[in-house]
Amino acid sequence: MFIQRAAWVGWCLTMLLALAGCSEPQLGEVTGTVSYNGKPVEKGAVTFLPADGKGGTGGGVITDGKYTATRVPVGRVKVTISGSKVVGKKKLYDAPNSPYQDLTAEFLPAKYHDREKTVLELEVKPGANEKNWELTGD
C-alpha cells in the first residue's frame, strides 16, 4: 500500500512539474545595431511586441547604435524603434546656479516608432538572435 501511494505521489509531482514547465514562455535574446540614413542611432529604444497581441513584450536600450534585448517573446513580433535627439536645454529649477537638463524629441518616422504604424517585424527564435536595422527616411 505504501509503495502504491508513493508511486502515485511521485507521478502527481512529475505531472505538476511538467505542466509548470509547459506554462513557461519561450524567450529569446536579440542583439544588433540600429542606423538611420547611414548613421548610428545614438540613443533610443527597441521594443518587441507579439504580432498577435497576446503575451509579453521585450526590449532594450540603444546606445551608440547598438542594442541588446533580453527576454523577448519567441515567434513573430512587431518591432518599434525610437530614437531621441537633443533639441534644447532647460534649467532643472529656478535658481541662478541650476544645472541644465537636455530636452529631447523623437526623430524617427512613425513607421518605425509608433506601435500602430510600425512596418518592422521579426521572427524571434529561442536563444540568441542577431538583427541589424538599417532605417531610412526624410
- Give the Cα separation of 133 and 37 in Å (integer): 11
H/E run at residue 22: helix 2-23
What sign results for the dihedral spanned by CA atoms 14, 17, 23, 28? Answer: negative
DSSP alpha helix (H) spans, 41-90: none
Q: For 88-134, write each residue's pLDDT tens digit.
A: 999 999 999 999 999 999 999 999 999 999 999 999 999 999 999 99
Q: For 43-92, write each residue's pLDDT tens digit.
A: 999 999 999 999 899 999 999 999 999 999 999 999 999 999 999 999 99
Domains and CATH numbers, the chain: 26-129 (2.60.40)
